[in-house]
Amino acid sequence: MKANICNTLHTPLLKKNKKPSYVIFVTFGFIVFLMSMLAFIITNQTQNPLEKLERQELARGVAQGVSAKSNSYDFHKVSYNWTDAMFSWQRTAFHFQPQNNWMNDPSGPLFHMGWYHLFYQYNPDSAIWGNITWGHAVSKDMIHWFYLPIAMKPDKWFDINGVWTGSATLLPNGEIIMLYTGDTNNYVQVQNLAYPANLSDPLLLDWVKYINNPVIEPPPGIGLKNFRDPTTAWIGPDKKWRVLIGSKKGKISISLVYKTINFTYFELNDNYLHAVPRTGMWECVDFYPISINRSNGLDTSVNGPEVKHVLKASLDDTKVDCYAIGTYFIENDTWVPDNPNEDVGIGLLLDYGRYYASKTFYDQVKKRRILYGWINETDIASDDLKKGWASLQTIPRTVLFDKKTRSNLVLWPIEEIESLRISSDEYEGVVITPGSVVPLNITQASQLDIFAEFEIESFTSEGNISNDNIDCGKGTLERSSFGPFGIIAIADDTLSEQTPIYFTLSNTSLGFSTTFFCVDETRSSKASEVEKPVYGSKVPVFSDEKLSMRVLVDHSIIESFAQGGRRVISSRVYPTEAIYGATRLFIFNNATNINIKVSIKIWHLNSAFIGPFPFDQS
């Protein structure tokens, strides 16, 4: 029966004597088609960006051959019913972030004519990754910042798809060289040269891109999308400058060395600086010297018998910043780690929390090496679009060699952060019994600088050795004989939202104990869509030391430093109730076999000035 109906309907269209009906039908169909197309165009032009985002499955950046720069939208996650007040509280008070929109990697930090300069990957159009330009800001102290106009835009064929990460080199004659990765019109990663239009301008407002860019293109055997992020250059005894670029070849992660005398023509070394199998693509590589006996930083070109070199890579596959300490052989431009078991990518991290794409520079004024790092959001992109911004930079950290362990770096907030201290509260020798949580009389606990020391008082006859498996586990709810214990930040009165920062031990003899330093975000927010991991690492502790931590709390970011900076954990938290005047601070002991004696000092911190440069003022 259906076949007969089809024949009845369609047969007349095949007959010439039905031409008028044919014309009418075709005309009507054409009109319907045009109206459908018009509706489609209008719908897409007026489409809510959040709806468009929901259809996007591939994380931003991946298609262009760079690491994912935003959390992929998860169709199974439903955004919390955030209010404007909640979003406003999340914005930090003394961490650098743009006025609005997306930010990622720090680039080209330097000091010039009285100003610290920070460039950064920036999307001027949206709170998600894309249209990457170079944002620019200056500061007198790396705490208070002035926004400047965009330094470089993707406006040439060699960077039309993105002005990506780069580094600054200060030449002995005062010139400033900026090498950066450009994503070309064919999505090929190349290295480009830029320089200030006017070196006498303290603000370095205008930048010139070299007319014959790119100066370095991917060599044979290297993927066109696996070749990025040049380092600061260093000069050798042959008067040639060296630059390092991260890449991979097959399953081997590599760091390529290029030499130059003029920064416009480069030669590729025959050998790699270093290579490690199965650690993925190396991004944002960094390479610099550290003194093993002195407490100051070193210019990038320094080498000698009392110098070690740090090789760092940001791992595209796992989104962590790994480093190792070793020896640099200038005669053939190779580097060998001191401990092959802690090589780059399989050993130490700069930060064991939410942290990526870090970059150092040498502060020639205060003779120190300074580390910047990018902290991404851990909510979902639709939340970022609603609040209108995403990401921030850590408080800059000094970088030194650990003279006690002689195997790791110590990272510490720059001393300038102390200028924000307003008032302090101090508690000495507070004894916390097992299973106890002690509230501290701290109000407005959203902006704090906390220093705490912990002493162990064992009271059992069962010995000082625990048979428990010691690590950060699933957080503070997992009790053992000698941990966890520490502080609880960004909490409400009922502890329905909380972020503990804590230690847990294998025994009470610190010089022989396996000690873990951890942050538990599992109860940091009632919002279901945000990531809430447990971060942590083993931390070396010597018998003549007390367990100690320093914690910087700034609304939605917590930076935690253990044992003078041997281990660092950066966290993002998004509470729904523990905000504004409801934010509290606690100390706790959830161990079963020890008392903990705590001495803690808490400074309230003022907000930093971070805003537009006052060009209208003389």
468-484 per-position pLDDT tens digit? 667 898 999 999 999 99
| H or E segment and range at residue 41 | helix 19-45
Degrees to nearest 5, angle at CA 162 with 158 and 165: 100
Average pLDDT over residues 571-579: 98
In this prediction, residues 224-238 reach a mean pLDDT of 98
Separation of first and last alpha carbons in the chain: 89
Average of per-residue pLDDT values in the chain = 90
CB 105 within 8 A of CB 167: no
C-alpha span between 604 and 93 (Å, rounded): 12
| Contacting residues for 223 by C-beta, under 8 A, at least 6 apart | 65, 247, 248
**What average pLDDT score do residues 18-38 get?**
47
Whether 131 is in a domain gets the answer yes
Residue 42 located in a structural domain:
no
Residues 210 and 343 in one domain: yes
Query: Which two structure tokens, joined as six digits, stand for 76?
Result: 């199974």
- Number of domains the chain is built from: 3
Same domain, 482 and 462: yes
Residues 273 and 379 in one domain: yes
Residue 410 confidence class, pLDDT cut points 50, 70, 90: very high
Residue 102 falls inside a structural domain: no
Residue 377 pLDDT more than 80?
yes
The least confident of 30-44, 98-112, 291-305 is: 30-44
pLDDT in tens, 279-313: 999 999 999 999 999 999 999 999 999 999 999 99
| Band of residue 44 on the pLDDT scale cut at 50, 70, 90 | very low
Q: Are 408 and 449 part of one and the same domain?
A: no
Indicate if the pLDDT at residue 1 is higher than 60: no
Is residue 157 situated within a structural domain? yes
Residue ending a domain, among 350, 383, 413, is: 413
Confirm whether 433 is domain-assigned: yes
Specify the pLDDT at position 460: 58
**Is residue 477 in a domain?**
yes
Domain identity same for 206 and 287:
yes
The DSSP secondary-structure symbol of 174 reads S
Query: Last residue of a domain, which of 413, 435, 458?
Result: 413
In this predicted model, what pLDDT tens digit does every residue of 516-533 receive, in sequence order? Answer: 999 999 999 999 999 999
The Cα 229–Cα 243 span in angstroms is: 10
Residue 304 and residue 405 in one domain: yes
How would you classify the pairing of strands 610-612 and 515-520?
A: unpaired
Instruction: Evaluate if residue 237 carries a pLDDT over 60.
Output: yes
pLDDT of 68 strictly over 70: no
The answer on pLDDT for 6 being more than 80 is no
Please give the residue range of the domain that contains residue 514.
Answer: 424-605
Q: Which of 357, 392, 413 is the last residue of a domain?
A: 413
Q: What is the mean predicted confidence (pLDDT) over 128-156?
A: 98
pLDDT surpasses 70 at 67: no
What percentage of the chain's residues is helix, strand, coil (to nearest 5)? 15, 40, 45
- As a whole-number percent, the residues of the chain with pLDDT over 70 amount to 87
Q: Give catalytic status of residue 105 as yes or no.
A: yes
**Residues 314 and 458 placed together within one structural domain of the fold:** no
Indicate if 215 and 345 belong to the same structural domain: yes
Q: Once rounded to an integer, what is the mean pLDDT over residues 80-95? A: 97
Same domain, 198 and 301: yes
Given the residues 84, 105, 299, 379, select the one marked as catalytic: 105
159-178 residue pLDDT tens:
999 999 999 999 999 999 99
For residue range 174-205, what is the model confidence (pLDDT) as tens digits?
999 999 999 999 999 999 999 999 999 999 99
What's the CATH code of the domain at 143?
2.115.10.20
**73 within domain boundaries:** no
pLDDT digits (tens, 9 = 90+) for 243-252: 999 999 999 9
CA atoms within 13 A on the CB side of 485: 33
Summarised one tens digit per residue, pLDDT across range 423-466 is: 999 999 999 999 999 999 998 899 999 999 999 987 655 556 66
Instruction: Please state the rounded mean pLDDT for residues 140-154.
Output: 98
- Residue 234 domain-assigned? yes
Domain shared by 459 and 371, yes or no: no
Same domain, 302 and 400: yes
What average pLDDT does the segment 345-361 reach?
98
What CATH number has the domain bearing residue 483?
2.60.120.560
Give yes or no: residues 480 and 499 share one domain. Answer: yes
